[in-house]
Amino acid sequence: MSGHEDVLARLADVLEARKQADPESSYVASLYAKGRDAILKKIGEEATETVMAGKDGDPDKVIYETADLWFHSLILLAEQGLRPEQVLAELARRFGISGHAEKASRGAGR
């Protein structure tokens, strides 16, 4: 992993701290100030850009756009009082379970 193991936790700490930052001087604080819809819109934009990068087949663009998508997803988690460790725990729970079986176990509500 080359020393990147705790980057999500460290980034989550920074994003949490940005809730108290001046929206004029912090991009993340400005998204918080604009509200959840602005954060969701940004995630949608980044998801589209990630899809387009994948379609183009340029590995560097895929990495760059995926980083933007993850970053904005982490902002949403922080906005809702959630941590990336919770997402990692959910992924760990699913590990070794058939994707079809896991999806079926969620039922219609998830």
pTM listed for this prediction: 0.85
Q: Which residues of 59-68 are buried (b: 16+ CB within 10 A; e: fewer)?
A: eebbeebbeb
**H or E stretch at 107:** none
d(CA 48, CA 41): 11
More confident call, 101 vs 16: 16
Q: What is the pLDDT, as a whole number, of residue 109?
A: 54
d(CA 9, CA 89): 13
Mean pLDDT over the full length of the chain: 91
Residue-wise pLDDT tens digits, 4-15 = 779 999 999 999
User: If pLDDT is split at 50, 70 and 90, which confidence band does 3 have?
Assistant: low
- Is the pLDDT assigned to residue 84 strictly greater than 80? yes
User: If pLDDT is split at 50, 70 and 90, which confidence band does 108 have?
Assistant: low
Query: DSSP letter string over 17-65?
Result: HGGGS-TTT-HHHHHHHH-HHHHHHHHHHHHHHHHHHHHHT-HHHHHHH
Residue-wise pLDDT tens digits, 36-55 = 999 999 999 999 999 999 99
Q: What is the DSSP letter of 81?
A: T
